[in-house]
């Protein structure tokens, strides 16, 4: 039977896979634990769902643990998230107490595992206090920050800085995001798994079936944004851009999203989006279950152009997902989107709904250019944002940090 790793050879080549095996050699058998706060929904869960099996395949004893809490905990960490990405927020002490208590409760359960691990990777602020709560730790602890910390609201960063300063290292998606900390800082961009249900090739007919399933018109250009209903993803800006395009050209829009179990603001944003969409039959707001990976794959492939009009974005896996499928992406000129969308080559970077509308109209009118950008986008994703590159950087970091 071919190993999981062998299945990547036709995509990235045998040398890349051999290199990974070689790098993993000194780490074989090591106990590695990743901790985050949701098993599904959002980019972090998406990455952990393939990273752990991949590390196991390379001989590491890797595990994924999820912490959970009550409403006040998620309210607090959502405020952290908004504050760290620059929005002024209030952090009442009752919420901070819930944050700390939830971490204490989870530490009770996880302490033996975490203290015994050779490496612990803590993702984002939610589980960050676990470090202090595991005084008997023997391994290296790395804080993996997935969010844009370039202009944090000071009060929030001041609090969180104390929580994360004690880590042995931290990982950031972009140099611009990093804040000074008293330990080594590493840069590792996220990635997608080209063989997952979300990204693998689909069977003939599957993409066409998407039009039927969601009541879309196969003869109209399809503009899509796949995102949690979060203000930083700017769904209202997407609606605005779509309306500006529609004044000139027939087009349909899909806003596909679901919730992440650690995001309490989604319903409110969804209400605003529904209200703004009104009864336009060409706007399709699709609420998909968290495991609708193949459906999202089909929607991305069925799209003419993909949007990710975020105003802040840690990375934006949805951008690489679309690029890998040969789609030009019109993305907000912010954060990790700038790593992926090379303006005028793999897509367009925009700052306003007007800018997005202009670029959509340009691509719809210049189909050769659209196809060419899609091809460039796919090869850029292949060379930069696949699991194999991501894993290589993780292994290198572990080798550098292990002693």
- Select from 81, 80, 111 the least CA-distant residue to 96: 80
The reply on whether position 321 binds ligand UDP by CB under 6 A is yes
Taking CB under 6 A as the criterion, which residues in 188-207 touch ligand UDP?
Answer: 198
The reply on whether position 315 binds ligand UDP by CB under 6 A is yes
Q: What are the CA-CA distances from residue 122 to residues 35, 69, 187, 256, 280 (Å)?
A: 5, 16, 15, 29, 43
Binding mask 279-298 for ligand UDP (x = CB under 6 A): ---------x-------x--
The reply on whether position 46 binds ligand UDP by CB under 6 A is yes
Taking CB under 6 A as the criterion, which residues in 213-242 touch ligand UDP?
Answer: 226-228
Binding mask 2-41 for ligand UDP (x = CB under 6 A): ----------------------------------------
**3-state SS string for 116-152:** HCCEEEEECCCCHHHHCCCCCCCCEEEEECCCCCCCC
Nearer to ligand UDP, 84 or 296 (CB): 296
Q: How far is the CB of 137 from ligand UDP (least distance, A)?
A: 28
Under rule CB under 6 A, how many of the chain's residues touch ligand UDP? 17
- Residue 336 contacts residue 317 (beta carbons within 8 Å): no
Q: Cα separation of 237 and 233, whole Å? A: 9
Nearer to ligand UDP, 246 or 297 (CB): 297
Q: Look up residue 55 and give its two tokens.
A: 């590390």
The reply on whether position 318 binds ligand UDP by CB under 6 A is yes
Q: Which of 42, 69, 129, 235 binds ligand UDP (CB under 6 A)?
A: 42
Q: How far is the CB of 201 from ligand UDP (least distance, A)?
A: 17
Q: Cα separation of 286 and 257, whole Å? A: 6
* DSSP string across 166-213: TSSEEEESSGGG----SS-EEE----B-TTSTTTSPPPTTHHHHHHHH
Q: Which residues make up the interface to ligand UDP (CB under 6 A)?
A: 42-43, 46, 198, 226-228, 256-258, 288, 296, 315-318, 321
């Amino acid at each position: 039977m071919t190993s999981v790793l062998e299945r990547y050879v036709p995509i990235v080549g045998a040398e890349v896979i051999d290199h990974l095996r070689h790098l993993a050699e000194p780490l074989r058998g090591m106990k590695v634990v990743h901790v985050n706060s949701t098993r599904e929904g959002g980019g972090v869960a998406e990455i952990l769902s393939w990273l752990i099996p991949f590390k196991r395949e390379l001989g590491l004893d890797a595990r994924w643990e999820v912490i959970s809490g009550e409403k006040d905990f998620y309210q607090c960490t959502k405020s952290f998230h908004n504050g760290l990405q620059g929005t002024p927020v209030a952090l009442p002490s009752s919420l901070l107490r819930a944050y700390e208590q939830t971490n204490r409760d989870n530490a009770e359960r996880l302490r033996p595992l975490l203290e015994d691990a050779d490496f612990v990777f803590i993702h984002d602020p939610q589980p960050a206090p676990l470090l202090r709560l595991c005084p008997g730790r023997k391994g290296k602890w790395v804080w993996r920050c997935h969010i844009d910390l370039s202009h944090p609201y000071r009060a929030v960063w001041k609090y969180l800085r104390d929580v994360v300063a004690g880590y042995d290292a931290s990982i950031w998606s972009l140099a611009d995001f990093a804040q000074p900390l008293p330990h080594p800082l590493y840069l590792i961009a996220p990635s997608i798994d080209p063989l997952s249900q979300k990204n693998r090739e689909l069977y003939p007919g599957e993409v066409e079936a998407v039009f039927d399933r969601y009541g879309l018109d196969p003869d109209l250009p399809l503009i899509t944004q796949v995102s949690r209903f979060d203000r930083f993803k700017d769904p209202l800006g997407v609606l605005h851009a779509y309306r500006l395009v529609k004044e000139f050209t027939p087009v349909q829009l899909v806003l596909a999203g679901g919730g992440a179990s650690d995001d309490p603001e989604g319903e409110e944003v969804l209400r605003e989006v529904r209200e703004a969409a009104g009864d336009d039959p060409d706007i399709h707001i699709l609420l998909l279950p968290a495991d609708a990976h193949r459906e999202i794959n089909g929607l991305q492939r069925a799209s003419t152009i993909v949007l990710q009009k975020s105003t802040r974005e840690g990375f934006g896996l949805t951008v690489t997902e679309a690029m890998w499928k040969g789609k030009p992406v019109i993305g907000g000129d912010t954060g990790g989107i700038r790593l992926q969308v090379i303006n005028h080559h793999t897509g367009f970077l925009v700052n306003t709904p007007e800018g997005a509308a202009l670029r959509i109209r340009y691509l719809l009118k210049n189909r050769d250019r659209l196809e060419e950008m899609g091809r460039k986008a796919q090869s850029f994703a292949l060379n930069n944002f696949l699991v194999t590159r991501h894993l290589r950087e993780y292994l290198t970091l572990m080798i550098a940090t292990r002693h």
